[in-house]
Chain A
């Protein structure tokens, strides 16, 4: 188990999935959609090591056997450790592109108000936009139930001991949820500002939510997450009058880590600033649909 946060695999459960996947052996066979090409270079060298190996190595691949020479080889791999995850993420991304789906990966610490914000967002979008939700939590399907109460289809992934969603889990969840063409898919990651930063899920953007009760220094304490995000939402701004929260310092800290990122201030509870976030989603959705047949069809109909 992860020394830092308890990462582990083998306990992942996706709601409504009858065949439980064992993530121990990592035998991801039979998922045609996850097909990808391995990219690696293998250079085989026959090293003349001085180990006194007494094994009989027999012949090597080319059939050449040199008595007394070890068959230890050097393979220059130069492969990203997360290559597997990244290939699943690429498959997810191309699925989203093909279907004109805007996928947003929502990340934050626990208790930042992600789920409440999501419920309010779905309600506000309802007339214009179909929303789908993948909920990631270590345990319980409470959040998926809260989302479903808004009328949006949602599926819960319980990561068990895992501290983040990975692209493989999301790929399966997408299969089960089948978000409609041209919809918005919100992926609510496990509440954790550390691990989800490193795992690409195939989303268009990571959106990090920071609530004003968490203090100004979060962006500096967890720089990887803020650096990886395309949008920062500062939530619960209705509480600012009751706190010693320095908004200017918070924004400056975000900028130190990610000078180009967009920062929006809002309150899911009071509704303040929500229009900026909704406008951002609309713009991002337009980007996802640019050049897509759905968009072209809509323009033709309008014209």
Chain B
């Protein structure tokens, strides 16, 4: 989806943090992206470089931690790994799953100076 809009949102957060935290350069940005967050990692990396150009985070390193998806199976009363939103429980085949992990879309940490 909208990877470019996400990068613009990240830049906005960086600018705001720079004001609050009194720094002028961002050296590294670490993101946490869930498997089900609807984000194409390559498109995000491409967008990041383009959006950060000329900003306080120009040439900043982008680290992405990809989070695997998990769901709570109501039938089995247990957490099971999934790959897609429409996956069935690997144990019982039910679709009565509640996604518990894998939708993360977070700025985890920054390295600044």
Considering only CB atoms, which chain A residue lies closest to B109 in the complex? A76
Query: In chain B, what residue has the closest Cβ to A226?
Result: B85
B47 to nearest A CB, angstroms?
7
Does A14 make an interface contact (CB < 8 A)?
no
Interface residue B92 (Cβ < 8 Å from any Cβ of A)? no
A279 at interface (Cβ–Cβ under 8 A)? Answer: no
Closest residue on chain B to residue A42 by CB atoms: B21
Do B106 and A9 touch (CB < 8 A)?
Answer: no
Our pick among A7, A197, A224 for the contact of B5 (Cβ within 8 Å) is A7
Q: B112, A72: Cβ atoms under 8 Å?
A: yes
Q: Once bound together, how far apart are the Cα atoms of A5 and B4, in whole Å?
A: 9
| Contact B112 A75, beta carbon cutoff 8 Å | yes
Interface string of B43-87 (1 = CB under 8 A from A): 100110000000000000000000000000000000000001110
With contacts A84-B9, A84-B13 taken as known, whether A42 is within 8 angstroms of B112 at the C-beta atoms is no
Which positions 1-37 of chain B face chain A at CB distance < 8 Å?
A: 1-6, 8-10, 12-13, 15-17, 20-23, 27, 31, 36
Q: Which of A40, A73, A194, A199 contacts B112 (CB under 8 A)?
A: A73
What residue of chain A has the Cβ atom nearest to residue B87's Cβ?
Answer: A256
- The chain A residue with its CB closest to the CB of B99 is A227
Q: Which of B5, B36, B40, B107 contacts A9 (CB 8 A)?
A: B5
Are B17's CB and A77's CB within 8 A? yes
* A83 contact set on B, CB distance < 8 A: 9, 13
- A9 CB → nearest B CB, Å: 6
Contacts of B9 in A (CB 8 A): 81-85
Q: Contact at A75–B21, with CB atoms within 8 Å? A: yes
Within 8 A of B (CB), among A161-204: 162-164, 166, 194-195, 197-199
B3 adjacent to A77 (CB under 8 Å): no
Partner of A4, one of B27, B40, B97: B40
**Cβ contact within 8 Å between B110 and A74:** yes
B86 pairs with A256, CB closer than 8 A:
yes
Inter-chain contact A73/B95, CB cutoff 8 Å: no
CA distance A164 to B6 in the complex (A): 12
The closest CB in chain B to the CB of A70 belongs to B113
Q: From B4, which residue of chain A is reached at the shortest CB distance?
A: A2
Please encode chain A, from 79 to 90, with 1 for each CB lying within 8 Å of some chain B CB and 0 for all others: 111111100000
Which chain B residue has the least Cβ–Cβ distance from A76?
B109
**Which residues from chain A contact B38 at a C-beta distance below 8 Å?**
194, 197-198, 224
A-B CB contact pairs (8 Å), 21 listed: A4-B43, A7-B2, A8-B4, A26-B12, A26-B15, A38-B20, A61-B22, A72-B112, A74-B111, A75-B21, A78-B109, A79-B106, A80-B105, A81-B6, A82-B6, A84-B12, A84-B13, A198-B105, A199-B2, A256-B86, A257-B86
Interface residues, chain A, with chain B CB atoms under 8 Å away: 1-5, 7-9, 26, 38, 40, 42, 44, 57, 61, 70-85, 162-164, 166, 194-195, 197-199, 219-220, 223-224, 227, 253, 255-257, 259
Q: Which 10 A-B pairs have the closest CB atoms?
A: A223-B85, A2-B4, A256-B86, A7-B2, A72-B113, A195-B2, A3-B43, A75-B110, A7-B5, A26-B12
What 14 additional pairs, Cβ within 8 angstroms, besides A26-B8, A82-B6?
A2-B3, A3-B46, A4-B3, A4-B40, A8-B4, A71-B113, A72-B112, A73-B112, A74-B111, A84-B13, A85-B9, A223-B85, A256-B86, A259-B97
